[in-house]
Amino acid sequence: MADSNPTTSSSSLPSSTSHDQGSFTLKLIELQEALVQSQEKNLMLSAQLRELERMSRDGEDLKSELINQSLLLTDKSRENKQLHQELGRITGLLEQKLQETEELRAAVTELGHQLKTREAERDLLAVMLNEAENAQRRQQADDSYGQQQQGAKGDTPGWLKAFKGKSP
């Protein structure tokens, strides 16, 4: 730097200039060191900025993914709600059919009981009919036998009359 006071002597000029040059060099070195530190800081800040930008993009990607997952979950929830309603309807229908099945089972059991009762009545009536037919045949046989006995009483010899008097 030049001396600001032009009235100084020429003998003081070289020492002042050397002093100014030394301080200028020191200042220049300080400024170069500050510049290097600033450049290093700038590089570090640039690296941090790139890292933050990358993290920001990753955050945006995650946000997009979360939105997509949220939409998917919303769809799945809606689908599950519809399935739940459908299952409820099917459950109600199955309960109704189960009730109808139980009613039919009870009706079949009742019809089976009625069938057994009717078969027993039929068998009883068949036995009674057989007994009545047998009784009628015996009656007819007894009537025939009685008529034969009356017709044969006159023909029976004397000693056989004692055995013929008793009829079964």
Percent of the chain topping pLDDT 90:
66
Domain ranges of the chain: 17-147
For 17, counting Cβ atoms within 10 Å of its Cβ (0-12 exposed, 13-18 middle, 19+ buried), the class is middle
Express each pLDDT in 12-54 by its tens digit: 455 567 778 888 899 999 999 999 999 999 999 999 999 999 9
| H or E stretch at 130 | helix 12-153
Whole-structure pTM value: 0.44
Residue 144: the pLDDT is 81
In the structure encoding, which two tokens stand for residue 7, read together? 């009235």
CB 3 within 8 A of CB 13: yes
CB 145 within 8 A of CB 153: no
- If pLDDT is split at 50, 70 and 90, which confidence band does 142 have? confident
| Cα(163)–Cα(156) distance, integer angstroms | 10
